[in-house]
Amino acid sequence: MMPSRPPVSQIVSIAIWPSGKVEPALRDDSLTAAGAIPVTFEQFEEVALKLKRDVLSGKLVPGEEDEIPKLTYNTFAKGKS
């Protein structure tokens, strides 16, 4: 018998909440329904590195450190890199 692929709901991803909270989660429709954006580790890393470059270069100047997690959420909400 060939091993079967696990259901999509069992694939681990990262949930990004509107508050900026980032946490590991199982990828399924309940995350989206609750307002979170599920992303892969690779997508998250790509956006985080871009934001880091923008902040370090002065292209993006957050008013407070607390704004950075919300910027991550907003980046995905605008179009999921």
pLDDT per position as a tens digit, 28-75: 778 788 889 988 888 999 999 999 999 999 998 888 888 888 888 998
Tell me if residue 50 falls in helix, strand or coil.
Answer: helix
**Residue 11 to residues 8, 35, 44: CA-CA distances in angstroms?**
5, 19, 15
Q: Do the domain assignments include residue 17?
A: yes
In this prediction the pTM is 0.73
Q: Do the domain assignments include residue 2?
A: no
* Number of compact structural domains in the chain: 1
Crossing angle of helices 41-57 and 67-79, in 10° steps, is: 120
Q: Do the domain assignments include residue 21?
A: yes
**Which amino acid, 24?**
P
Domain that holds residue 20: 11-79
Q: For position 34, what pLDDT does the model report?
A: 84
Q: With bands split at pLDDT 50, 70 and 90, how would you rate the model's confidence at 2?
A: low
Q: Do the domain assignments include residue 53?
A: yes
Q: For position 7, what pLDDT does the model report?
A: 55
Q: Do the domain assignments include residue 40?
A: yes
Q: For position 16, what pLDDT does the model report?
A: 92
Q: Do the domain assignments include residue 22?
A: yes
Q: For position 40, what pLDDT does the model report?
A: 87
